[in-house]
């Protein structure tokens, strides 16, 4: 649900725009909504594709190989 303050402020600002710019705002918000839903769908499509063994291997590889600084490197 949209916050009433946000709704009010959006309407005030959009009403100041020309019709072509209002259409751009509508197009942009439509894109935002579409992209927001896409991420969720992409995530749900991957749900359950990683078995426990592979997940544990990935966690171990991250813990062993990431966020370490080689002071003698570079």
Instruction: Read off the pTM.
Output: 0.48
pLDDT digits over 4-59, tens only? Answer: 999 999 999 999 999 999 999 999 988 888 877 776 777 777 777 888 888 888 88
pLDDT of residue 17: 94
Q: How far apart are CA 25 and CA 74, in angstroms?
A: 48
Give domain limits for the chain. Answer: 17-65
Q: How far apart are CA 13 and CA 5, in angstroms?
A: 12
- The answer to whether residues 14 and 25 touch, using CB atoms and an 8 Å cutoff, is yes
pLDDT of residue 11: 93
pLDDT of residue 23: 95
């Amino acid at each position: 649900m949209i916050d009433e303050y946000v709704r009010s402020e959006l309407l005030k600002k959009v009403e100041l725009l020309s019709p072509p710019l209002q259409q751009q705002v509508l197009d942009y918000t439509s894109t935002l909504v579409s992209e927001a839903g896409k991420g969720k769908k992409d995530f749900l499509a991957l749900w359950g594709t990683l078995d426990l063994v592979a997940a544990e291997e990935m966690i171990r590889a991250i813990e062993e190989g990431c966020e370490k600084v080689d002071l003698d490197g570079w």
